[in-house]
Structure 1
Amino acid sequence: MVKSVFRTIKILEFLGEHAGANVTDISKNLRFPKSTAHDILTTLEQENIVAKDQNNRYHLGLKLFELGSMAQTDLEIRRIAQSFLRQLNSELDETVHLTVLEGDEVLYVDCLESSKRLRTYSVIGVRAPLYCTSVGKAILAFLEHDVREKILAHTTFEKFTENTIIDKIFLEDELHTIAQRGYAVDNMEHEEGLRCIGAPIRNRSGRVFAAISVSGPSQRITLGNVSEIGKVVMAQAENISEQLGYHKG
């Protein structure tokens, strides 16, 4: 481990057990040079990871609390979403997925398959692009504009099928539509013959960080029933968001 990272972690652990410590306390107990402890604390304070009071004593900051809350939400989501995924799977008898945002991709963290012979097969732990999957587009559409722009700026657009949207202007139009209606459609954009309908999940603070989807063969999930299925998926996504502590308004 890089020494500066190791020292930063040790400082945070120390402050977790000894709130209100000053630079001298920290450097003495952790056996770091005082100048090193000061430099690390200054950087952490600038990022709101620690806070300094009027007596030059340090405490863990709000940013660390926010990060901890986000991590807790990610751990909770699979447990909380399970019953709603089962309901969705039972009602539609199509494969359902739960995904979370990981960098510029989605990570599949849970899946319940259809009982039908012709169905979608998935593997938990697989990652997929945001721009051409229903879950990915459902997340992108509800991210803050600057966050979305940063992600798309680092995205390499690959054309998986004839329907894959690789033009950023067209994609922005699609995301605008998704934001208005509340759910996203992967119209055979990632895999030939496969349609998926996804809806976003919000955490307690309202941040979209995950999505669920229903996937099936294009002959069963048709352009004619997409709207009906979309409403069902969106309702279950909203149920999960509520269980995570999010309330509209």
Structure 2
Amino acid sequence: MINSVVKALRILELFSAAEPRLSLATISARLAMPKSTAHNLLMTLLAQGYIEKVDGDHYALGTTPLILTQRIRVNVEVRDPAAPILRALADATHESVYLTVRDGDFALYIYAVESPQRLEARTAVGDRAHLHCTSVGKAMLAYLDANDRAAILARQGLPAFTPATITDVETLATELALTCARGFALDRQEHERDTYCIGAPIFAAAGDLLGACSISGSDPEIVGARMTALAQQVVQSAQQISRLMGFVPTRPSAWARTAPHAS
């Protein structure tokens, strides 16, 4: 246990609806903590957005806890309804299945059904991945507003993770246009060696991009001879989850073209 982390958490727990603002002296006294220690911890929390300074010499909770709360709410609201659909997808394909949501410039893995054949023993849940090199990430990038997409690529670049990673903007643009046309994205060892994936986008009620789901495995035929059948299953699962989120496409027969995207 790291004592400084525990002390910082105890400071955060002092704030309440009844006492939204506390002074350094109050915090120090309540926790029987030297003022210098409390001040140093507050400065760290302040720098990370967990605490903000108000009314001169008082402190209040910052915006970071609110952002984390919103992320948890979104994760639960998406994950719990999607779980049975994704378990069925895993049973049907005999491959690992993942659910992700957009987390800023990255894809955040919030649910997984791991295949016994998966090369790594640990789960992917909690991992964040770049968008340009994963099937879930490319499924998201393809349906983002062009300005939003360009801003992400400007901030994060196109780092290479394997020799197969797309590191050229024009090549990526072609790949994303193809993703929109067919309704699913591919990962051909672009993020991890010996790993092949098919991902499809998930939309919220208003048609906004919410995240993506995928299947993943070590069989090269996932993006070869098995691709057509597997892609259909992934897209259908993404459609089911999107409907649970309240999304209704205007043209169900052309799902891939219902969400807004730029060419």
TM-score w.r.t. the length of structure 1 is 0.69
Give how far 1:74 is off: 3.9
Conserved? CA contact 1:120–1:215, under 8 Å: no
The verdict on how the C-alpha distance between 1:241 and 1:69 changes in structure 2, with shifts beyond 3 A counting, is farther
Tell me what 1:141 maps to: 142
Correspondences of 1:124-135 after superposition (within 5 Å): 124-135=125-136
Give how far 1:225 is off: 1.4
What CA deviation, in whole Å up to 9, does each residue of 1:146-178 have, x standing for no partner? 111111111132111121100011101100000
**Runs of at least 5 residues in structure 2 that lack an aligned partner in the other structure:** 1-16, 21-53, 57-68, 251-263
What RMSD in Å do the two structures reach over aligned CA positions? 3.0
How many corresponding residue pairs? 192
The verdict on how the C-alpha distance between 1:165 and 1:97 changes in structure 2, with shifts beyond 3 A counting, is same
Conserved? CA contact 1:135–1:198, under 8 Å: yes
Give how far 1:32 is off: 7.2
Tell me what 1:86 maps to: 87
The verdict on how the C-alpha distance between 1:173 and 1:120 changes in structure 2, with shifts beyond 3 A counting, is farther
The one-letter code matched in structure 2 to 1:203 is A
Tell me what 1:172 maps to: 173
Q: Distance in 2 between matches of 1:213 and 1:156?
A: 23
TM-score w.r.t. the length of structure 2 is 0.66
Conserved? CA contact 1:94–1:119, under 8 Å: no
In the alignment, structure 1 residue 75 sits paired with structure 2 residue 76: yes
Q: Distance in 1 between matches of 2:136 and 2:75?
A: 16
The verdict on how the C-alpha distance between 1:90 and 1:166 changes in structure 2, with shifts beyond 3 A counting, is same
What CA deviation, in whole Å up to 9, does each residue of 1:201-220 have, x standing for no partner? 00111111210000001345
The one-letter code matched in structure 2 to 1:130 is L
What CA deviation, in whole Å up to 9, does each residue of 1:78-105 have, x standing for no partner? 0011011111001011000011101111
Q: Distance in 2 between matches of 1:199 and 1:231?
A: 10
In the alignment, structure 1 residue 96 sits paired with structure 2 residue 97: yes
The one-letter code matched in structure 1 to 2:114 is E
Residue identity over aligned pairs, in percent, reads: 37
Q: Distance in 1 between matches of 2:225 and 2:169?
A: 27
Tell me what 1:185 maps to: 186
Tell me what 2:240 maps to: 239
